[in-house]
A and B are shown apart, each in its own frame.
Chain A
Amino acid sequence: MATIRVYQILHKETLSDVTKLMVIAAPAVARKARAGQFVIVRIDERGERIPLTVADYDREAGTITIIFQEVGKTTKQLGTLEPGDELATFVGPLGHPTEIQNYGTVVCVGGGVGIAPLYPIARALKEAGNTVLSIIGARNKALLFWEDKMRAVSDELIVCTDDGSKGRKALVTEPLKELLEQRRGEIARVWVIGPAIMMKFASLTTKPFQVPTIVSLNTIMVDGTGMCGGCRVLLEEGAQFVCVDGPEFDGHQVDWDNLLARQQFYRAEEQQATQEWEHHCRLEGVAVEGGA
């Protein structure tokens, strides 16, 4: 068939045991991509379609940077690909970009792999003239990355880990609460990107302070264009689609418990697929990195 499809992996970096960065050649996507948007990736003809947030883009080089944590079959398999390999599908840029303006003082909170999509947002906010206070956290030191990049776009950066192996021994919600108390009335807006459970508690933390809190949701999706509705999230005003209405939402409006339950719907199938793939890899002698 006369189809044009070239999404080559140009560069790969290992950011932690389970976190990888890839730079993908996708000139038309790069021309339009903005902070806060996402792409849909499919590895091969049998692959599933997964959403990954745009971690960076280079319009001149025609590239998009993606960062992913190896948690299931698809992300683990993606982690085994190398520069020169091609992806079967790379669709984007999808979703609404972040609303960037000069809000005054803002807080950017990133947890784990969520630091990746947070970075271009923090950078754009900084470029728009905001005072950017950032908090990044992870379970441990090995899972942290881009501390330098975040520091470069932040007026202040707080690093914390659950186990204290780097920075403060704290959950991100602790320094977040302190900042809100210390700078009461000063903080205009908070961005939080990370695991759903972290975004839930960060939203609960900011709610008493009545500071608008933007979260970027990463739900199960198939097409990413509004067609399936599998990504729907319950807000106070009703259900919305993360892919076309989001991915950013007011964290104070999200029904987090419903969101967390929906993320578990295919858990058994995900585990089955991961196990069968790892078993297959052992048989084939393919090196499977990370994935502890």
Chain B
Amino acid sequence: MPVQDAAVRRGNFDEVALGFTEELARREAERCLQCARPHCVEGCPVGVLIPEFILALRAGDMIGAVQAMKVKNGLPGICGRVCPQEVQCEIRCVLARKGESVAIGRLERFVGDYELAQRTCPLERLPQTGKRVAIVGSGPAGLTCAVDVAREGHAVTIFESLHSPGGVLIYGIPEFRLPKSVVHGEIDYAAECLGIEIRPDHVIGRIFTLHELLDEYDAAFLGTGAGLPSFMRIPGINYNGVMSANEFLTRVNLMKGYRFPEYDTPVKVGKGVAVIGAGNVAMDAARCSLRLQQLHAQQNGGQPGEVHIVYRRSRTEVPAREEEFHHAEEEGIIFDFLTNPVEILGGAKGNVRAMCCIRMRLGAPDASGRRSPIPIEGSEFEMAVDTVIFALGTSPNPLVFVDAEGLERSKHGTVVADEATGRTTMPRVWAGGDVVTGAATVVSAMGAGKAAAADINRFLRGEINPWGA
């Protein structure tokens, strides 16, 4: 797929991957062998009808392709961009053995973008049932659940704490990976077609409790994600210039801080940025930092500076998607593997002056199966940085659990829910996505939202009564 050249894209927030042209999409679709037993579908958490949509695409039948897509997935433009297809559908493609799997994700994106522009096939909705469902959180899990429940004819209201729906798709994933126009477009489109009401600025647990929602609604789904940031327990984390990846990315993405002062929210990085962690969020934070440095240098002259990713394990253990790592490396992010911060050092005005790190080596595998990092004694050194961004994973925000007696949670703060159905221990409450699993992928959250929606629909039809009485 065509991409923006690395030297150019590091100076802008425009999308990196440019998408297939019609010609490229058709040619790619022709490579699909249309297997009698397609394994690709088994790898998809929402079960997209992959051979069917590709077959229509190949025949030039765009409307057919969109229809096939929307049977299982109302948000193809989003999924086509952020799903880790290489470990889901594409790895199962029979052509993968030769290293030539069909680019299913890119084709999905092509169909999604076509539909956003053409709006051929509004999602269909069954006659109204009079039942009401509250969805808490408008991220991937909540949106998917909302779409599938609304299709059944139930009245759906989504409560979102921020001012714009989309959850991590809006505040977390940067514009250059997932344009916000795509997110707004697919959400608006689905909401319009299905009559879904979205209430932004509603922090459940504060403005309404879960119990109050259950007084008004027949069922509730919690898809509140994993929104709480973690900081390392080392000295110096409160100096100016130390922030969570959540804060940094929210300023950049949700608040459009990279367009300050046209937008009011400032965001700034210095000339020496250290991002701690090596997951997808770390890659996003590093690549945003690099772009901000470039923009600043374009406007004010001088050298842009450096962005480091500091990771305590080695290249082999990097948890980010291969493509994200590759793009980051291509753009000039410096990787400091087997390195761990031990203290952040402050200077004038309480600003970060440097970070003291220690070198690590890998020992025996730990509980996660990855080799555990062990500090090498006496290897401490100072890194001259002025900005430190922690991208160390997130946990569920407990606000939604205020006065939610009966809702069981694990010791990690995640909601206990049945994996197949999303049922929680609280009657008429389902949950799915990161609030149940801890931070995971967009599409696994969508899968959980879909499974819960199916169970909610069965419950509202009166077919099941999981909590008795």
Residue positions of A touching B, CB distance < 8 A: 1-5, 28-29, 32, 42, 46-49, 73-74, 88-94, 222-223, 225-230, 232-234, 238-239, 244, 255, 257-258, 261-262, 264-266, 269-270, 272-273, 276
Contacts and interface: CB of A to CB of B under 8 A. Distances in A.
Nearest to A28: B207
A32 B403 CA distance: 14
Given A91-B202, A93-B207, A227-B171, 6 more contacts: A28-B202, A89-B201, A92-B207, A227-B397, A261-B240, A269-B260
B250 A227 contact: yes
A161 to B, nearest CB: 30
Given A265-B240, A269-B266, A273-B261, A225 B229 contact: no
Contacts of B162: 223
13 contacts: A1-B198, A28-B207, A32-B207, A48-B264, A89-B163, A92-B203, A222-B251, A226-B228, A227-B227, A227-B250, A232-B231, A262-B350, A273-B266
A239 B231 contact: yes
Nearest to B195: A2
A2 B190 CA distance: 11
Given A46-B264, A222-B247, A2 B198 contact: yes
B129 to A, nearest CB: 18
Given A93-B207, A227-B227, A265-B240, A222 B255 contact: yes
Contacts, number: 142
B200 interface: yes
B260 A273 contact: yes
Contacts of A264: 240, 349-350
Nearest to A261: B350
Nearest to B209: A32
B191 interface: yes
Interface in B237-290: 237-241, 243-244, 246-247, 250-251, 254-256, 260-266, 268
Give chain A's interface secondary structure class: mixed
A93 B206 CA distance: 6
B88 interface: no
B231 A244 contact: no
Interface string B206-241: 111000000000000000000111010100011111
B197 interface: yes
A222 B264 CA distance: 12
B207 A227 contact: no
A113 B119 CA distance: 51
A28 B191 CA distance: 23
Contacts of A266: 266, 268
Contact of B229 (A4, A47, A74, A229): A229
Contacts of A265: 240-241, 351
